[in-house]
């Protein structure tokens, strides 16, 4: 047998002696490391035993929330009643009371046209009526005594009726020389001046009832079931900065526009202080109440094979439930499906679940949903 060289034997011996010396010098650190490694293994084993059988999961409870929506829209305001004042007949303007912002009650005189001819026509018609009335009364008396012919009496009655009609016509012509307020309201800028000659139906001024301002806006057809007459709205306008105004829904159109798939909605805003103006733009906001649905954390949802699923824990086993997404809101997902308030829904560990498989819930539902 070939002997190992002396120098090699000496080198090996030196290495072994050095390792033994280092181990002796660091015996405390080695003992601590061994104890730590042993303890970790024991803790893991204890944890596994504590978990028990089944897939470990974290759960959260199902809540119920109302699917309310805050809807906003932009619309243009217009007066509760609004007309364009027009000249009732042609002629010269002799008096004009129209002024921007002037208030009038129904029946007040706004403009007067020259009515000299019409007054004379009324006087003439009234004189003829007076004569026809006298003739009719005279022949009536003679008819009673039998001294007047029936034909002459009938002619007198006809003349009286014609004269009466002529008076009514003359008075109507005279009335058309005056422009009156059609309702309580405010006039705008006049397009004429006193002394001008105008034609019949010529525009004179605007006239508005601003006691309430109406604002119309479009509502998507999918939300029509959420709105009703009398529902409150809040409005604001750049014309009055820093303020909001309360109103209510007063009308819902009977049709949905086939092109836009929206329905026209009208809201009314009280304007007793008369600070809002027709034609201004308005930003409207209204709360649309919705149905009550279950709500779960977003982590609970799985999308698979075109379906939205979640896992419910029932009596220690996993059950997959298919739901429909309604809306996302502040970390929760509102869904529609066969789940109820208080059900335990898996939010962590769902990737390892199978239908009917045992689960080990590591928390309470309240802890998982907080």
Domain boundaries, the chain: 8-51, 55-67+291-369, 72-77+211-288, 83-198
Q: Which CATH number fits domain 55-67+291-369: 3.40.30.10, 3.10.450.50, 2.40.420.20, 2.60.40.790?
A: 2.40.420.20
CATH class of 72-77+211-288: mainly beta
User: Using CA atoms, how far apart are residues 221 and 223, in angstroms rounded to an integer?
Assistant: 5
Do 263 and 257 form a contact (C-beta atoms < 8 A)? yes
Tokens 């422009």 belong to residue = 179
**Tokens found for residue 245:** 């105004």
> What token pair was written down for 327?
């809306």
129, 166 Cβ separation under 8 angstroms: yes
Instruction: Specify whether domain 83-198 bears CATH 2.40.50.100.
Output: yes
Is 229 in contact with 252 (CB distance < 8 Å)?
Answer: yes
- Which long-range contacts (C-beta less than 8 Å, at least 24 apart) are formed by 261-264? 261/220, 261/221, 262/218, 262/219, 262/220, 262/221, 263/218, 263/219, 263/221, 263/224, 264/216, 264/217, 264/218, 264/219
- pLDDT tens for the chain, 370 residues: list them: 445 555 556 665 655 565 555 545 555 554 555 445 444 444 444 444 444 578 898 999 999 888 888 899 999 999 999 999 999 999 999 999 999 999 999 999 999 999 999 999 999 999 999 999 988 888 777 766 665 567 777 888 898 999 999 999 999 999 999 999 999 999 999 999 999 999 999 999 999 999 999 999 999 998 998 999 999 999 999 999 989 999 999 999 999 999 999 999 999 999 999 999 999 999 999 999 888 899 999 889 988 888 899 999 988 899 999 999 988 887 789 999 999 998 999 999 888 888 888 988 888 765 444 4
Q: How far is CA 31 from CA 20, 170, 205, in A?
A: 15, 128, 104
Q: Residue 97's closest CA among 171, 181, 174?
A: 181
């Amino acid at each position: 047998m070939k002997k190992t060289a002396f120098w090699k034997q000496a080198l090996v011996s030196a290495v072994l002696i050095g390792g033994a010396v280092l181990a002796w010098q660091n015996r405390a650190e080695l003992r601590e490391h061994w104890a730590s490694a042993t303890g970790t293994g024991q803790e893991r084993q204890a944890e596994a035993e504590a978990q028990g059988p089944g897939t470990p999961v974290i759960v959260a409870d199902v809540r119920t929330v109302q699917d309310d929506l805050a809807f906003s829209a932009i619309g243009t305001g217009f007066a509760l009643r609004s007309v364009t004042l027009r000249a009732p007949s042609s002629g010269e303007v002799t008096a004009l009371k129209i002024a921007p912002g002037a208030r009038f009650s129904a029946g007040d005189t706004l403009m007067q046209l020259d009515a000299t001819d019409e007054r004379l026509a009324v006087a003439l018609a009234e004189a003829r009526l007076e004569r026809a009335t006298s003739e009719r009364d005279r022949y009536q008396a003679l008819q009673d005594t039998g001294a007047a012919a029936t034909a002459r009496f009938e002619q007198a009655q006809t003349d009286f009726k014609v004269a009466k009609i002529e008076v009514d016509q003359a008075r109507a012509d005279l009335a058309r020389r005056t422009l009156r307020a059609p309702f309580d309201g405010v006039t705008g800028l006049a397009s004429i001046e006193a002394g001008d000659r105008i034609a019949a139906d010529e525009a004179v001024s605007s006239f508005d009832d601003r006691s309430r301002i109406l604002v119309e806006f479009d509502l998507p057809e999918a939300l029509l079931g959420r709105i009703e007459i009398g529902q409150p709205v809040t409005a604001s306008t750049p014309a009055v900065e820093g303020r909001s105004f309360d109103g209510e829904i007063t009308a819902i159109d009977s049709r949905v526009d086939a092109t836009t798939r929206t329905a026209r909605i009208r809201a009314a805003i009280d304007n007793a202080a008369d600070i809002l103006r027709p034609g201004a733009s308005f930003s409207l906001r209204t709360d649309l109440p919705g149905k009550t649905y279950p709500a779960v954390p977003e982590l609970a949802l799985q999308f698979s094979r075109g379906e939205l699923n979640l896992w419910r824990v029932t009596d220690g086993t996993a059950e997959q439930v298919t739901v429909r997404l309604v809306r996302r809101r502040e970390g929760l997902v509102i869904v529609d499906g066969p789940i109820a308030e208080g059900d335990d829904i898996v939010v962590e560990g769902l990737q390892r679940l199978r239908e009917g498989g045992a689960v080990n819930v590591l928390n309470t539902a309240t802890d998982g949903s907080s």
